[in-house]
C-alpha cells in the first residue's frame, strides 16, 4: 500500500499559525510519501498507532524543504502503517 494521507481537521491558532491533523497509511520499503503544505512547517509528527490499545508504535522520519512560501514534507515508510495519525504545525501562511 502506497503512502496516503487524509486531512481531517485544521485549527487556526491566530497570528498566521495553524495545526493540521489527519490520518495516514504506508508500507515499509515503499517510496517515501510527500505532502506540500502552505507556509513554514515548524513541526510534523507522523505516528503509527496500535489499533488494539491506541499506543504509539513508531514516529516516522520526516524531512522538510521550504521554498516559495511552501514546505514539502517527505515521510519515510519505515514500517507497515494501517492506523497512523499525524499533526503538522505551520506559521507564516
**Residue ranges per structural domain of the chain:** 4-91
Contact yes or no for 38/93 (Cβ under 8 A): yes
Compute CA 65 distance to the chain's CA centroid, rounded to the nearest angstrom.
14
**pLDDT at 92 (0 to 100):** 64
pLDDT in tens, 28-73: 888 999 999 999 999 999 998 876 666 667 788 999 999 999 999 9
**pLDDT at 19 (0 to 100):** 96
Question: Which CATH architecture is the domain 4-91 placed in?
Answer: Sandwich (2.60)
pLDDT in tens, 72-81: 999 998 888 8
User: For the chain, how are helix, strand and coil distributed in percent, rounded to 5?
Assistant: 0, 70, 30
Amino acid at each position: 500500500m502506497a503512502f496516503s494521507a487524509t486531512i481531517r481537521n485544521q485549527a487556526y491558532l491566530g497570528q498566521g499559525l495553524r495545526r493540521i491533523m489527519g490520518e495516514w497509511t504506508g508500507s515499509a520499503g515503499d517510496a517515501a510519501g510527500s505532502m506540500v503544505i502552505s507556509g513554514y512547517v515548524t513541526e510534523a509528527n507522523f505516528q503509527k498507532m496500535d489499533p488494539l490499545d491506541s499506543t504509539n508504535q513508531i514516529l516516522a522520519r520526516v524531512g522538510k524543504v521550504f521554498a516559495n512560501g511552501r514546505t514539502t514534507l517527505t515521510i519515510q515508510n519505515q514500517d507497515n502503517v494501517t492506523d497512523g495519525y499525524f499533526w503538522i504545525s505551520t506559521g507564516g501562511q
